[in-house]
Every structure is written in C-alpha cells, then in structure tokens.
Amino acid sequence: MPDPATEAGLVLTGLDLLGIFVFALSGGLVAVRKELDLFGVLVLAGITGLGGGFLRDLLIGAVPPASLEDWRYLMVPVAAGLVTFWFHPALGRMERLVTFFDAAGLGLFCVTGALKALAFGLGPLPAALMGMLTAIGGGMLRDLLAGRVPVVLRGELYATPALVGAALAVAGVEASLPAAVVAVPAAVVCTGWRLLAVRRGWDAPRPPGVPST
Amino acid sequence: MPDPATEAGLVLTGLDLLGIFVFALSGGLVAVRKELDLFGVLVLAGITGLGGGFLRDLLIGAVPPASLEDWRYLMVPVAAGLVTFWFHPALGRMERLVTFFDAAGLGLFCVTGALKALAFGLGPLPAALMGMLTAIGGGMLRDLLAGRVPVVLRGELYATPALVGAALAVAGVEASLPAAVVAVPAAVVCTGWRLLAVRRGWDAPRPPGVPST
Amino acid sequence: MPDPATEAGLVLTGLDLLGIFVFALSGGLVAVRKELDLFGVLVLAGITGLGGGFLRDLLIGAVPPASLEDWRYLMVPVAAGLVTFWFHPALGRMERLVTFFDAAGLGLFCVTGALKALAFGLGPLPAALMGMLTAIGGGMLRDLLAGRVPVVLRGELYATPALVGAALAVAGVEASLPAAVVAVPAAVVCTGWRLLAVRRGWDAPRPPGVPST
C-alpha cells in the first residue's frame, strides 16, 4: 500500500475500500440467492471483495497483502456481508442490484489495481493487465466458489471495459496526470460501458461458425 | 518454517505433518468416491493436505513454502493417498470417516496456520484469519477440483470453529503462553465444535426471508 | 527468468514461448467448444498458457512472474487465441487437436518448469514437482474456469508423464548435462507417453473395489 499521507495514497485507499464494499455486496447477494448461511455469505463477500486484490498482490509480490494488515480492509467485507444478510429483502430487485454493484466494483478495481501495479514498478502493459485482473479476479473466484462458470467468460462484455479502464488510468499516470484526476473518469468509463453493455445486450464477437447461444 | 530446534518449532512441525496426513486422507476418500484413479487420488490427497498451507504461505510471503523443501511434507500426502487407495474398503463407513478426518484437519490447521502467521510477523487479526484459511483452504481446493460447491459454504458450521480455534491460539500466544500449551486445547475446541455441529445438525443462521433447504 | 544471454536461458525462453502458444491453443479450443465469445477465448487462452507458470512462479517466489514483464509472453497467448478464434473451423477435427496441443504443452512445460525451479535454488524433488505443476496447472485452471472436473483427475494418464519428464530433466541437470541437451528428450518422453496413453486408452490404476467407469 502506498504511503497514506500522499494524495495518490488517500485516493487509492478510499477507492479500494469503496470497491471492496460494492464487490462484497455482489458476493453476498450471490450467496443469499444460492441460499448459503451467514458464514457462507460472509466468506463469499470477503472473497469477492478482497480476492482480486489478493491475486494482484500475489503476482506483483506485495505480500502480505496490505488488506491483511489493515483492519478496515477486513471489516468492510464483513459489514457488506452483514448488510446483505439482513437487508437483502429490502434491496428489492436483486438481479439489477447484483449487476450494478458488479459494474461499480469493476470500474473501481481496474483503476486501483492498475495504479498499485504501477506503484510497485510494473510497466504499463502488465500494470493494465493487473488492473483487469484485480477487477475480474474477485468475481471469478466468487463464481467458481458458487459453482458457476465465471460471468467474465459467459459472452457478455466484461473483461474489455475493465482492461480499457485500467489502460486509461495507466495512460493518464504515464502522461504525468495526478492519480486523483485520472482515477474517476477511467472508473466511470469502465462502469458506464459495462452497464450499457448489460442494458443494451451488447455482446463480444463470437467465433465464426459457432452458433450464438 | 520456524527453527526446528525450538519447542514451538517441533510442535508446529509435528502437528503440521499430522494435519496434512488427516486432510490428505479426506482428499483421498473424496477422490475414491468420485471414482478417480491412483493419480487422481494422490493429486487430490496432496492438494487437500498441502493446499491450505500453500495459500497461507503465499499470502504471508513464506515462499517457497517450507513443505516444498522438506521431503517429509511431500511424502506424508503420498502415504495418505496410498493408504486411502488400498484400504478404503476396510475404512468402512466413509461418510463418517471423511467428516472426522476433515474435522481433525480443521482443528490442527487452524492452530498451526495461526502460529506460523504470528511467527512471520502478522498481527493478531490477520494471523487468526490466516489460521482459518489454512484450515479451510485445502478443503475448498479439494471441493473445487472435485466439482462441488465447497463444504465451507454449504450451510454447515465449518468456518466458525476454525476461526475460533485460530483466535484462541493467537490469544494464548499473545498472553505469552508457550505454543505447546496453547495448541492442543485450541485445536480440540475447533475439532470438537465441528464434530458436535455435524452430529447435532447445528447450522449457521440463514438470511431472513430465505427458506432453509 | 535466467539471464537470456546464456544458452540455458535462450533454450528456456524459446521452449517457454512455444509451450505457452500450444497450451493457449488448447485453452482457446475449449473456449470455442464451450461457445464463449472473443474475450472468453482470449482469457481462457491466456490462463491456460500462462497459468501453470504463474502458479510455479508464485510458489518459488519469482514475482512478478517474468511473463508479466516481457511483452512476448503476453502477446503469444493473444496470438494463439486469435488463431483459434478465426481458424478453428479449418483446424478440423478438434478432439485430436486439443489432445495433441495439450500433450505438447505438457511435455514442454514440465521441462521448463523444472529447470526454472532448479535455477531458483529448489532441490531436485521440489523442482520435479514444480515441473509437474507448471505442466498441469494451466490445464487445471482452464478446466475449472470452463466448469468441468480437471482432465488430470479424470482417470487418464496425465500427471505421471509430466512428473517423469520433469524428473528426467532434473536428473540430467544434476548429472551436469547442458539444459539444451536435457530438455528435448525429457519433453519428448512426456509428450510421447501422454499421446500413447490417449491413443491406446492406457489408464492409471483404480482403487480396488471401485468399479471402472
């Protein structure tokens, strides 16, 4: 984790916590819909919220992951899990909520993941990929544990917005813009693209000769 | 791995090997019931026995994991796999045995995992979580590879005893008790709680408004 | 990654790229057969091609993995994914092709994985195991993400040829033979054994008392 006294560090930490919260909500909602119990909800919330960052931290050598040594990072998914557990009926139409939380987490994590990889000395291309992994990793682990093929592979535009959002953030930092200036529009592009893709049913291209499902 | 000449080191190594053996037995039995072949049995025994420790070691930065550089750690799951392979009919009622081995591994690993994380400088909260991960990680990998939703998410008390056992071990060490004194009761609490939960059908609470399955 | 100026380094890099390409083809073909879209194909190609090496690098402490910092390693699975995406109908009988690519990747990766583990100071036994993990890890991740029980556990001779190929490479290097001399025959033994096992329907032994499926 970068020095929290710096502006970039504060932005990173704040966005990270927000991303963890919304991703953990999506994990908790999947767990509720799978009829798991309280601890299944907490575990799935935690893995969805922290899993992408763990995968990124393992690959860039940032161990132990910062989120393990900062109680706020550990309490946020617990809080999200409890919120999901108690208030899921009031949350109403879950399908849309899961999709929205997922898209918001996607946008936040692709940016924070890419910025952290840059801060650990990775080049622009690997940093953008680490941003994408941070964004899609938690959801992939969530889907694997919930016993379904990961959303990211299931024919919807998902990985691309994350990669593009991460690439925008990397490009901005490479152009010497402050991280705080870069982060928000890059995240908005990713989340907005993802939400539009869901709403309009945009699909990534399919292999020629294979019928669309 | 801590200095094996110290008391704590000896206790850790002995319990680790025992935990790996019983967890590997549980992995081997799942493989036999899934009608896998000899190498499927050995692979699943190895991953179940060593997987939780690998995940912990990756996250605390203890790489290469000690178990990779100590042939005893590698031979123990092979032995457990062969025992399962040849003697599974004699092992009789497998359902109960799988449950028992699983609970014993749970108790042993939550303690050794937490103690190792403390030894690598993690704070009390992350160390307790690493203990839980060590305990539930191998079984989660086993279930993922065997194509089923992990036991830990399936509505039985599983993660909680592991977290409480790990927390007890951490609390004992923080209170300056010797690891050897702390380890056994903490493991017994976890294993006993898990076995009671299975026998009495204790369940973790379910989200309000979701029918029990 | 070893110094590319050395002979062993060049051999390792070349074989690594070739192994990544053929494994990524196998991942891409599985994705096409699962009717995933372009990005599903690229993601599955990338994970199959690079996943085994990532697992090895994480466990031996070689982070960030060399493949993340070398654009050739990142472009190779993209190229393989695009080839699969556009030309899969021309690739004709896919079943055989998937099997062949898988066997070729198995042979190449068990050798490069073992040599890299030796280069990072692991002993002979763990180095051979890391070679096997490099070879079977990408395919295991591919199968997990595609929602099927990994091939390696499904009753065909798969892990054994990889372990033997890795052990041969380790034995050769321990006998002071140059890596270039050792690599090819060890890979050929593994790939040939695997292909023969598929063609002749060789199976690993099954537990006594369990009916063959």
Task: Specify the residue for token string 């307790």.
Answer: B128
Q: Nearest CA of chain C to the CA of B52: how many Å?
A: 13
pLDDT attached to residue A94? 61
For chain B, the average pLDDT equals: 86
As a whole number of angstroms, the distance between CA B94 and CA B98 comes to: 6
Interface test with B, best of A25, A30, A33, A38 (most B CBs within 10 A): A38
pLDDT attached to residue A33? 85
Residue A64 has its nearest CB partner, among B59, B157, B158, at B59
Give the CA distances from residue A93 to residues A23, A38, A100, B164, in Å, rounded to whole numbers and listed in that order: 17, 21, 11, 36
Distance in angstroms between the alpha carbons of the first and the last residue of chain B:
43
As a whole number of angstroms, the distance between CA A150 and CA A137 comes to: 10
Three-class DSSP category at C207: coil
Chains that touch C (3 or more CB pairs under 8 A): A, B
Q: Do A122 and C64 touch (CB under 8 A)?
A: yes
pLDDT attached to residue C190? 96
Does residue C151 belong to the interface with chain B, where contact is any CB pair within 8 Å?
A: no
pLDDT < 50 regions, chain C: 1-2, 4, 212-213
Provide the token pair at A93.
């139409």
pLDDT attached to residue B212? 47
Q: Do A204 and C43 touch (CB under 8 A)?
A: no
Give the predicted TM-score (pTM) of the model. Answer: 0.87
Phi (first) and psi of residue C211, to 5 degrees: -65, 145
Burial status of residue C213 (CB atoms within 10 A of its CB: 0-12, 13-18, 19 or more): exposed
Task: Specify the residue for token string 């990397």.
Answer: A170
Provide the token pair at B42.
């050995």
Give the lowest-confidence range in A31-35, A187-191, B195-199, C8-12: C8-12
Mean pLDDT calculated for residue range B185-206: 88
Quick one: pLDDT band at residue B7, thresholds 50, 70, 90?
low
Is pLDDT larger for residue A99 or for residue B177?
Answer: B177
Does residue B168 belong to the interface with chain C, where contact is any CB pair within 8 Å?
A: no
As a whole number of angstroms, the distance between CA B62 and CA A128 comes to: 27
Residue A88 has its nearest CB partner, among B157, B204, B207, at B207
Sign (positive or negative) of CA dihedral A122, A125, A127, A130: negative
pLDDT attached to residue C179? 83
Chains that touch B (3 or more CB pairs under 8 A): A, C
Give the CA distances from residue A202 to residues A8, A100, A155, A193, C171, in Å, rounded to whole numbers and listed in that order: 34, 16, 9, 10, 53
Helices (H) and strands (E) in chain A, counts: 7, 0
C157-200 pLDDT, tens digit each: 888 899 999 999 999 999 999 988 898 899 999 999 999 998 88
